[in-house]
């Protein structure tokens, strides 16, 4: 448990550090290298368009990241009379009050609260993912993946121009790291260039991981399931996939796709207000 709590603190700091390094490299290294003569650069030049695209992706990724943290899943345990001395975990297991547990609820020991439609605990946000912040979490994964892949392309263009090498051969990227390490220790490669090369592989790994996680999460949403339900083997009521999507993304899904907006309220809160 101590290791998990430590990871819950280190992982968000690691993500913010990688985001800051990516932003600095893009704005102060990659994009300026695309300008040959700034005085004669047209308004819609590839460099300016790339800069605008990167800022759009970064703003959406960081905006949804903040909303995932702010839109924490509500603590259902506060509204329940668990009895004096009762543990929330025991209540959910049914040992204290059989039949009183709400469906799709889970007690997270790291967050110390009961959440509805619990999916998983995300260490990179230090928060549980549930009904209130699922859409923001998926948008965060999507735009993080796109921002990393965009940085990968810009970094490859920068390395190609700096080292006068071509990536036309698919094997060139696979052999870039071992070849660069040998050149770095022989003194033929600068430390700044080696750092950019290492970041290329980091962006590729993060981008593919976020893209795969986003696709897997969307597949579960289409089925009306959460990762917690799949892990516990819980049976869910079959519903049309459109209803499952609307429950997570809401009717104004297009707005949430373009700009970071807060997720819809959970179905538990709507039922409680009625």
pLDDT tens, position by position, for the chain (274 residues)?
Answer: 788 888 888 999 999 999 999 999 999 999 888 776 656 566 667 788 889 999 999 999 999 999 998 877 665 555 554 444 444 444 444 444 333 445 567 778 887 777 778 888 899 988 888 888 899 999 999 999 999 999 999 999 999 988 888 888 878 888 899 999 998 998 888 999 999 999 999 999 999 999 999 999 999 999 988 888 888 888 788 889 888 988 888 877 888 788 888 765 444 444 444 4
Helices (H), the chain: 2-25, 31-34, 46-70, 88-93, 134-163, 170-174, 176-185, 191-223, 227-232, 241-249, 253-258, 267-273
122 assigned to active site? yes
- Catalytic residue selected from 108, 111, 122, 128: 122
Rounded Cα distance, 63 and 65, in Å? 5
DSSP state letters, 223-242: HT--HHHHHHT-------HH
In contact, 16 and 61? CB cutoff 8 Å: no
Question: What region does 73 belong to: left with phi over 0, alpha with psi -120 to 50, or beta?
Answer: beta
In contact, 22 and 203? CB cutoff 8 Å: yes
Rounded Cα distance, 203 and 144, in Å? 10
């Amino acid at each position: 448990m101590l290791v998990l709590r430590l990871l819950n603190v280190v992982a968000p700091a690691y993500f913010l550090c990688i985001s800051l390094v990516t932003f600095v490299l893009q704005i102060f290294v990659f994009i300026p290298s695309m300008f040959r003569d700034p005085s004669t650069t047209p308004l819609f030049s590839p460099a300016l368009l790339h800069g605008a695209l990167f800022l759009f992706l970064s703003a959406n990724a960081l905006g949804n990241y903040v909303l995932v943290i702010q839109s924490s899943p509500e603590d259902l345990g506060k509204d329940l009379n668990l009895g004096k001395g009762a543990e929330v975990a025991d209540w959910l297991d049914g040992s204290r009050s059989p039949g009183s547990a709400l469906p799709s609820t889970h007690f997270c020991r790291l967050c110390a609260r009961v959440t509805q439609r619990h999916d998983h605990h995300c260490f990179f946000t230090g928060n549980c993912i549930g009904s209130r912040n699922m859409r923001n979490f998926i948008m965060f994964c999507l735009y993080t993946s796109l921002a990393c892949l965009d940085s990968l392309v810009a970094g490859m263009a920068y390395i190609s121009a700096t080292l006068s090498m071509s990536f036309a051969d698919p094997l060139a990227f696979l052999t870039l790291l071992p070849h660069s390490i040998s050149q770095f220790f022989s003194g033929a490669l600068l430390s700044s260039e080696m750092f950019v090369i290492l970041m290329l592989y980091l962006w590729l790994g993060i981008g593919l991981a976020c893209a795969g996680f986003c696709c897997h999460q969307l597949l579960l949403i289409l089925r009306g399931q959460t990762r917690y339900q799949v892990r516990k083997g819980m049976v869910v009521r079959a519903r049309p996939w459109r209803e499952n999507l609307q429950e997570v993304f809401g009717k104004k899904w297009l707005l949430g796709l373009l700009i970071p907006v807060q997720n819809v309220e959970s179905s538990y809160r709507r039922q409680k207000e009625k």
